[in-house]
Amino acid sequence: MNSKRKSAWSWVAVVAVLLMVGGAALYVLWPQLQPHVNLHVGDGVFITRVAKTPEDRERGLSGTSELRADQGLLIVFETDEKWSIWMKEMKYPIDIVWLDKNKKVVYIVKNAPPESYPYERFTPKQEARYVLELPAGTTAKKSINIGSEARFDENNLEGWWGT
């Protein structure tokens, strides 16, 4: 093989390695690049992805394969209502926690099963402003109960990107 051809293959190999390393880094960092907020409730601290748009709220956790023990989804609404949650395209059970405008837990559904869709919607008994979705069993493990108060910065619900 001549030296020009060897040099070209060397560059192809370098570019391929850089693309693989970049792809792996993006895979690892992607959740942190999404809008998120750190949320404290009960004995837990969670990195929560934020769903504020109608599209993001409707999608929720649909299609995801799992949540780590320290992850969640915070669904943010502009008004207080009895917001229903469904398990469309879910692959695992979750705990669902409704918070009022003062960030106090007003209702909890534990271990909502993915098989409940399309037969069941989970609806709180009281109006809420926020819905927090956590891995199943988290509310019991982290002492999250009706009346628990959540803490998060509602002025930073856009994550790193802002709008």
Same domain, 27 and 50: no
Would 41 be classed as within a structural domain?
yes
Is residue 8 pLDDT above 70, yes or no? Answer: yes
Q: Is residue 161 part of a domain?
A: no
Domain encompassing residue 91: 36-156
Question: What is the structure's pLDDT at 161?
Answer: 34
Give the chain's domain count: 2
Count of helices and strands (H, E) across the chain: 3, 6
Integer Cα distance of 112 and 134 in angstroms:
10
What is the CB neighbour count within 10 angstroms for residue 99?
A: 25
Q: Is 146 in the same domain as 109? A: yes
- The verdict on 81 and 69 lying in the same domain is yes
Angle, vertex CA 120, rays to CA 152 and CA 148, nearest 5: 25
Residue range 10-48, pLDDT digits in tens: 888 888 888 887 666 655 555 555 568 999 999 999 999
Q: Quick check: 48 and 73 in contact, CB under 8 A? A: yes
pLDDT digits (tens, 9 = 90+) for 65-112: 999 999 999 999 999 999 999 999 999 999 999 999 999 999 999 999
Most confident residue range from 94-98, 116-120, 157-161: 94-98
pLDDT in tens, 121-131: 999 999 999 99
Quote the CA–CA distance of 163 and 159 in Å, as a whole number.
Answer: 10
Amino acid at 3: S
Does residue 90 share a domain with residue 13? no
Number of neighbours of residue 62 by Cβ within 10 angstroms:
14
pLDDT, residue 111, reads 97
Classify residue 68: in a domain, yes or no. Answer: yes
Same domain, 83 and 145: yes
Amino acid identity, residue 89? E
Cα Dmax for the chain: 76
Residue 70's CB is within 10 A of a number of other CB atoms, namely 14
Shared domain check, 77 and 8: no
- Whether 123 is covered by a domain: the verdict is yes
Gyration radius (Cα) of the chain, Å: 20
Question: Which residues does residue 80 pair with via DSSP β-bridges, in sequence order?
Answer: none
Q: Read off the amino acid at residue 16.
A: A
Residue 126: CA count within 13 A, CB half-sphere: 15
Residue 163 domain-assigned (yes or no):
no
Q: Which residue has the tokens 């999608």?
A: 59
Whichever domain contains 58, its CATH number is 2.60.120.1140
Model-level pTM? Answer: 0.77
Do residues 85 and 26 both lie within one domain? no
